[in-house]
Amino acid sequence: MKKGIDTVIYWRYIGATLAKGGDDEQAIFFKAFVKECKSWGMNHQVEFQLAEVNRLLTEEEKETLAMLSFKE
């Protein structure tokens, strides 16, 4: 048996909690996400990972998330 803290992460719960948060909390989350991705050292690795996530999203989910990268 593994000793230590429980490492099961309930991603659906985290996502739902994030969605209910305000824009300040959501921005903090995405900034931390991007900062961690940038720490990997290679932009190509980050792009590849995000492409894999994108592949698993429905068209409706992609449309909903489109404003995250919107530029005027």
3-state DSSP of 37-63: HHCCCCHHHHHHHHHHHHHCCCHHHHH
Q: What is the pTM of this model?
A: 0.79
Contact partners, residue 25, CB within 8 Å, separation at least 6: 18
pLDDT digits (tens, 9 = 90+) for 1-46: 456 677 889 999 999 999 999 999 999 999 999 999 999 989 999 9
Average pLDDT value for residue range 56-61 = 98
Task: Give the residue with greater pLDDT, 69 vs 49.
Answer: 49
pLDDT higher than 80, residue 48: yes
